[in-house]
Each structure stands twice: as structure tokens, then as C-alpha cells.
Amino acid sequence: MIQLDTEQMRSMIGLHVKYHEVYCQVIEIIEDGPSIVLEDLEMHSSIQADQHGEAHRKVPKTYTITILSQDRIEFSPAFLALEPLDL
């Protein structure tokens, strides 16, 4: 089983990666997954609903990527497919 250190995961915040041919930045770590949240840097957006369910504004698209496989023995294919970028 792979054990991830919280500080190691947090150090990924701010990294630029390519995910399915889209340039993204790691903006958050979800420790329970563990997962990372990517924000689309290419201006692809989605409509965000407010607390009443009404759509009022466009926000950058985000993607949540699970770091480990379900059995926690190896890294997930989605995480391994991320391409780190030097910007």
C-alpha cells in the first residue's frame, strides 16, 4: 500500500500540468481521496450556479484527479497520465 505524506501532497499545489491536452494548474489537495484538483488555464469555462441553483457566472473548469488506485497499491492511471510542465 502506498502511503502519501500530507506535506508532499501539498507541495503539488501550484504545479502546472497537462491533462488530456489541456494546460492546468494544481489548485487544491483533497486528503480523503487522496485527490488533486486541477484548474483549466485555457479559459474553458463552465456556468456556476449560485446557492439557489441559478446560473449567473462563468468560472474556470476544474478536474478532480484521484492520486491512488482503488486498492491503494499503485498510482491511478489518471494521475500517471499527467504531464508536468515547466512554465
58 inside domain? yes
Angstrom distance (rounded) from CA 54 to CA 5: 39
Question: Per the structure, how many domains does the chain have?
Answer: 1
pLDDT of residue 83: 96
Q: Do 4 and 31 form a contact (C-beta atoms < 8 A)?
A: no
pLDDT of residue 54: 74
pLDDT tens, residue by residue, 53-63: 777 777 788 99
Torsion, Cα of 63, 36, 21, 73 (10° steps): -120
1 inside domain? no
Domain, as residue range, for 17: 6-84
Q: Which residue has the higher pLDDT, 48 or 18?
A: 18
* DSSP characters over 23-77: EEEEEEEETTTTEEEEEESS--EEEEE-TTS-EEEEEE-EEEEESB-TTSSSB-H
